[in-house]
Amino acid sequence: MSRSIRYTASPLLTSRTPVWRSKLIVFALALGFVGLGARAAYIQVINNNFFQRQGEVRYSRTLELPANRGRILDRNGLILASSVPSPSIWAIPEDADLDDAQRAKLAQLLDMPLAEVNKRLADEDKSFVWLKRHVEPEKAKQIAELGFKGIYQRTEFKRQYPEGEAAAHVVGFTNVEDNGQEGIELLYNSTLLGRAGSRHVIKDRLGQSVEQVGETVDPVAGKDVQLSIDTKVQFFAYQKLRDAVVNNRAQAGSIVVIDANTGEVLALANYPSYNPEKRLNLTGAQLRNRALTDTFEPGSVMKPFTIGLALESGRVKPGTIIDTSPGLVNITGATIRDAHPHGALTVEQVIQVSSNVGTTKIAMQMPASEMWETFSGAGFGQKPQVEFPGVVPGRLRPYKSWRPIEQATASYGYGLSASLFQMVRSYTVFSHDGQIIRATLLKNNEPAVGIPVFSADTAAKVRKMLQMAAGPGGTGPKAQTAGYSVGGKSGTAYKQIGKGYGSDGNRKYRSWFVGMAPIDKPRIIVGVMLDEPTAGKYFGGEVAAPVFSETVQQTLRVMGVQPDISIRPQIVANTVQESF
């Protein structure tokens, strides 16, 4: 007989309950406890990390501390590029239940077509869409005041370029993610970029930080980059170049100004240019930094190197007579001509009137290897060591492959190519006592160390010839300035059209002028290049020299250089002044 549980002593109330039922209850309860225990162990021991993290996510936040991108400054510390905060508007399409009037209002404030706003808000699957990045602070404030649901803002940084198009090619620009895309912004991206910091906080129900947890990683601000550019020089160099390109109906133009003592680039501008802040519809022509990335046959601007070598090697003296009549010379079947026949010229005059025949006759006395070495030493065919993306080396073929006609044409600047920047830098040979110096875009006050190409004496002699060339009777008298002695060489090179240089009446030109001032102790070297002037004038001395003159005049004034030639004072005496 099975046992039963007695609930009462009264036999009347006795019921027969089997013991297994109570055991079942106890077992069920025990099982429940074991289940709970196991769950507790699962949460607190086995999968502890997961639950800890899930808990933390609900109250603690890692805040990013943004680092400012460094500024780009000019040599005097003026801002060329700086980041300013700018609000960007974003939305959660699912939450943004706006009626038509609200959408219209939003579209108007964002300066966007209504259809575009509707399109962006239509995609309900997305939990994040940008409506517009970099909105004007004023507009952003108005949008915030509207308080539309599902529309949010965050602060991003936007690059501003106060100098605008004048310095666009040097400074470059960044993309919307604040990464450098062109110019100095690209090259020094890693220096300019800071490292964002972070910190961990606990937030309350209202989203306010109430407590900090752990260590703060401080943001590291990006470093500033100081360039050798002088904003004032840069601006008026650009201005004069722009006017010249427009007036001469040229395709494009470039100008480079460098400090003859330190090799610092004071200005480097190209036209056409662009505004780095408004880059819609940019064309490749606007974007090209022609002074550094485009190479051309330099033409007559090369002659001083050929003559310099002849002087240096003692083959000629400045007064040696070279007979250039009848204005043409025959080299292995090909004829080299002068624009006008000049008759007998001294070596000085060969440079002054820019005689191709004279230069060729001098060049043919020299071995090709010496010429190649001189050109190469002056930086031709070599990539200039300058801090800039996309710098090109130009072209100078090895002398072993030169035929006599090629040696002849090379002597007056054909059959080899160089960028304007290379040209200007190569002229440091003449300004810096025969030594070529390194050009730099970064500020550097120390005199540069040069590599000798010519002796100081040869350099001085060539400078005198350059002065003659830029004076009366030379090819570039329009390079003259009031108060400062200048010297320089104009060049008018035929542009290659297909395989040749075009025929008469159908030629395209490239006009150059490269020179220095003051001529005895040069402080600056300025190079100007205009591409395809089509307004009638095309000689370098007519088109490029005036830009050189104005730029030299203003740059030396800004640098505080005293005039070295006499000027007629136009200062009105005191007594007269009172009648003003």
Binding-site ranges for another protein (CB under 8 A): 68, 78-79, 82-85, 160, 162-164, 166, 201, 204, 208-212, 231-232, 235-236, 239, 482-484, 553-554, 557, 562-571
**Would you tell me how many other CB atoms lie within 10 Å of the CB of residue 449?**
9
Contact 514, 489 (CB under 8 A): yes
Minimum CB–partner distance for residue 82 and another protein (Å): 5
* CA 172 – CA 159 distance, rounded (Å): 11
Find the shortest distance in angstroms from Cβ 564 to another protein.
Answer: 7
| DSSP secondary structure, 118-158, as one string | HHHHH-TT-S-EEEESS--HHHHHHHHHHT-TTEEEEEEEE
Residue 560 CB, shortest distance to another protein, in Å, is 10
Secondary structure E strands in 522-570: 524-531
Distance separating alpha carbons of residues 470 and 39, to the nearest angstrom: 95
Among residues 83, 228, 273, 300, the one annotated as catalytic is: 300
Is there a contact between 358 and 346 (Cβ–Cβ < 8 Å)? Answer: no
- Residue with smaller CB distance to another protein, 511 or 553: 553
Query: CA torsion 301→402→342→474, rounded to 10°?
Result: 10
Taking the least distance from each CB to another protein, the nearer of 418 and 556 is: 556
Q: Which is nearer to another protein, 90 or 235 (CB)?
A: 235
Shortest gap between Cβ of 25 and another protein (angstroms)? 39
Element (H, E) at 34: helix 19-41
In the bound state with another protein, the residue whose beta carbon lies nearer, of 30 and 78, is 78
DSSP assignment letter at 512:
E
Nearer to another protein, 236 or 372 (CB): 236
d(CA 338, CA 537): 18
Task: Tell me the closest approach of the beta carbon of residue 481 to another protein, in angstroms.
Answer: 8
Question: For the CA atoms of 396, 401, 404, 409, what is the dihedral angle to 10 degrees?
Answer: -20
Q: Which is nearer to another protein, 209 or 376 (CB)?
A: 209
Say how far apart CA 272 and CA 280 lie, in whole Å: 15
Catalytic residue status for 455: no
Instruction: State the minimum distance, in angstroms, from the CB of residue 187 to another protein.
Output: 22
Residues 515 and 523: their CA atoms lie apart, in Å, by: 11
Minimal distance, residue 335 CB to another protein, in Å: 46
Instruction: Record the tokens describing residue 82, joined without a space.
Output: 């700086």
In the bound state with another protein, the residue whose beta carbon lies nearer, of 165 and 406, is: 165
CB 15 within 8 A of CB 7: yes
By annotation, the residues acting in catalysis are: 300
